[in-house]
Structures are given as structure tokens and as C-alpha cells.
Amino acid sequence: MRIGARGGPLLVVIAALAASVLASCSSATDSSADPGTSAAPSASSSSSPSPTEDVSGSVAPTPPVSTVPGEVRDLDVEELVMPSAAPAMPTAWQERFVIGYGPGRDLLGTAPGGDSGTLDIGPEYGAPAPDGSWWFLDAAKARIAHYDSAGQFLDQVRVSKKLLIGGRYFQWQLPHVLDDGTLVATRQDPERTWLLRLRDGTLDEIPVDGSFSAAYDDGVRLYGFADRGKPVVVDPGDGAMRPTSWFRTPSGTRFSVAMGARLKLGLPAAGVSRSLQISTASGAGAHVGLQLRAGTDDTLHLFLTGLGEDDESVQLVGASLVSPSGEVAAVEALPNPFNESDPGSPAQLVMVPGSSTPMLVYVLPDGVHVYERTG
């Protein structure tokens, strides 16, 4: 989704709710034949601004892995400085595997996209399961494809025509795999959100009690934002949705993360309430979207993309983390995830359930690349 920088974080999610039915439609043409109570995370997850020229820009090359040692990272900053997109992955991020595109079961599919259908749009991302295997929403082949931890094909689950919209369109986005191995993905219609669920090899879909944009899961529940950015928690078992003021880590620790002109953090168990200015390297304001994951060690990992007020043609991309005691790490620059093959959202931040290691999924013109932060 391409949203201008001055839309602000709330507009990002409102636009996602309103436009996802149209913006995320992929034609399924086979190319082979307590949650409790205080200040909550802001409504700026999963989608974020990109420069206007990226809408029809050139094909992004596969990000190489940098071989130049980086500077020592400051793990407790007072200001969140957003860097420009890096030309290469930092050495701390190692490529785990790449799955290419093509016919047959072993490769992922692409679907025509863009105003004239001249783009080849890749899958709607993927997520790891507790056993380390991976599930990808392969829209072009109307399936959920299963790969091992090294990216080798295992099996697939076909999406029946009765689940596809109009018997043709695959609209689910950004999957989550929960602690019990259930895969959950969401789609929107004008009235509500729907949850696609894959449990023990069986696919079904259930309605949610309203509309929300899924931003995070704690391994059991989905968290996100409803109308006007109100934080909510959703039970994937029955679709029940209710307001919440806190998100929770997999261990149950409460936290809040709000993104606006400042990054606002709440960690009540640690007695932490912080507010950090968000800016570019030149000191100008920055408009940033957020993806969030939490590890079993209660560390919060942030994937950040946005634009600066000093130069809206420059894509800002990076990752940070928040320690359980509230220290915020300097943002490390990452390559630009926006390209002609991404399905509309930036790269997906994921984590194997039960682990504390962040990973990134980039959908690029030559295939889907998975990176793991090992440093």
C-alpha cells in the first residue's frame, strides 16, 4: 500500500481498512496449471509510507549482505533517528533461504498487477510455525504453500473456490502462525474482517465481530486496531473482538507502543513510560509505520519504514528493539522493501513461536527472501 508521508500513522490503518478489499485483491490464477487496561499501541502497524516514485519505480535488486563491519550499536538512545534505506543487509542479518517463482509445486507463483497488469506480484508473505517450517500465502496459485526451515517444499493446502472471493480472488494478507500451529490471515469486506484459519490441514473462514487491522499476536490472540485507531484484541477461535488498552508479550507481560511524531512506550511491569522524538538524520520530522513482534524474552522488535519531511523522495527503513527494562536501540538501516513484486505492504517482520529471534521476509522480483538476525 502506497501512502504519502503526510497522511500520518492513523490514516495508514484507516486507509488499510477501507482500501484493502481493492488494493490486496490477487487473482488466484495458477501459473502452473487480559488484555487489560492504560495507553495502547498506535494505529500504524503493517503498512507504511514509501516515496511516490516507488509506485511505478524500477525493479529493486536483491539486497546483498554487507561485508563491511558496522559501527557499535547504541542500545539506549534518547531519540529515534530514521536512516535512509541501506544498499545492503547489515552483517547481523543473514539470509536463511530464497524461494523462487515459477510453475510447479516447489516454486511460488506471481500474479499480474498494476494498472495495466504488467507487474508480477509475489505472494502475500509468509510466517514460520513452531516447528520452524514456513507457510506462505501463495495467492497466484490459490494455495497455502508449506516449506521446511531451509526453504525446501514440503506440501500445500489448496484454497477452494468457495473460499475465494467470487470464486477467483485471494484477498488474505500477512499471515500469523500461533503457538498451537494454527495459521491465521485476514481479509476485509465493507462490513467486517474475516479470519482464514488453517488448523490440522483444514481450511475454514470465520467472521470477526467488526473490522480491525491485525498488527500483532502473542501466540494465542490477535491484536490490532479498529475504527479510528482504537486498539482491540481478537480471539481467533470464535472471532470475538473487544477493546484493550495493552498488548501482551508471549509471556503475558503488558506493554504499549504508540507511533506518531514521537515513539511512546509503556512497560508497567518495569515502571517505564518513555517518549522519544522520531526524526531523520538531518533532524527533520519523520512519518513512520511500524511492525512489531515480541520474543519469549520480552524484547520488543520494531520494523520501521517511512518518509522524512526534509525529502519525501528518500525511503527510510530500519529496525530497532526495546529491552524489557525500556532501553531503545538505535535504528539500524535496512534495504528498501518496496519494489514491483511486493504485494502492497512492506517486508514482513516475523518470529518463530517460542523464540526470541527476529526475521524479515522480503518479496523481491527474483523470489521471496528470508533473513534472520543472528548478530
**Band of pLDDT at residue 32, cut at 50, 70 and 90:** very low
Q: Which residues touch 333 (CB under 8 Å, ≥6 apart)?
A: 83, 84, 85, 86, 90, 317, 318
Is-contact 154 136, C-beta < 8 A?
Answer: no
Residue bearing the bigger pLDDT, 174 or 5: 174
Mean pLDDT on 338-343: 90
CA–CA separation, 78 vs 81, rounded Å? 9
Can you give the pLDDT at residue 62? 58
Can you give the pLDDT at residue 68? 45
Residue 163 has pLDDT above 60, yes or no: yes
Can you give the pLDDT at residue 65? 54
Neighbouring-strand partners of residue 137: 144
Mean pLDDT on 315-334: 97
**Band of pLDDT at residue 64, cut at 50, 70 and 90:** low
Is-contact 305 314, C-beta < 8 A?
Answer: no
Can you give the pLDDT at residue 60? 45
User: What DSSP string describes 35-80?
Assistant: ---SS---S-BS-----GGGGG-PPPPPPPBP-SPPPPPPSS-SEE
Residue 110 has pLDDT above 70, yes or no: yes
**Band of pLDDT at residue 49, cut at 50, 70 and 90:** low
Residue 59 has pLDDT above 80, yes or no: no
| 137 CB-side CA count, 13 A | 34
Domains in the chain, number? 1
Sheet of 332-333, strands arranged across: 286-294, 300-308, 315-322, 332-333
Least confident range of 17-26, 150-159, 326-335 = 17-26
Can you give the pLDDT at residue 344? 79
**Band of pLDDT at residue 29, cut at 50, 70 and 90:** very low
Residue 115 has pLDDT above 50, yes or no: yes
pLDDT in tens, 229-278: 899 999 999 999 999 999 999 999 999 998 889 999 999 999 999 999 99
Residue 75 has pLDDT above 50, yes or no: yes
CA–CA separation, 266 vs 34, rounded Å? 16
Average confidence score pLDDT of the chain: 85
Residue 334's domain is classified under what CATH number?
2.120.10
Q: Name residue, grid cell 531503545.
A: 328
Closest CA to 45 of 186, 183, 192, 241: 186
Residue 50 has pLDDT above 60, yes or no: no
CA–CA separation, 169 vs 124, rounded Å? 13
Can you give the pLDDT at residue 116? 64
Structural domain including 189 reads 5-373
Cα 71 versus chain centre, distance: 27
Residue 17 has pLDDT above 70, yes or no: no
Can you give the pLDDT at residue 118? 72
Mean pLDDT on 182-199: 97
Share of the chain above pLDDT 70, in %: 80
Mean pLDDT on 303-319: 97
Q: Tell me the pTM.
A: 0.83
Longest dimension (CA), the chain: 57
Can you give the pLDDT at residue 10? 33
Is-contact 141 32, C-beta < 8 A?
Answer: yes
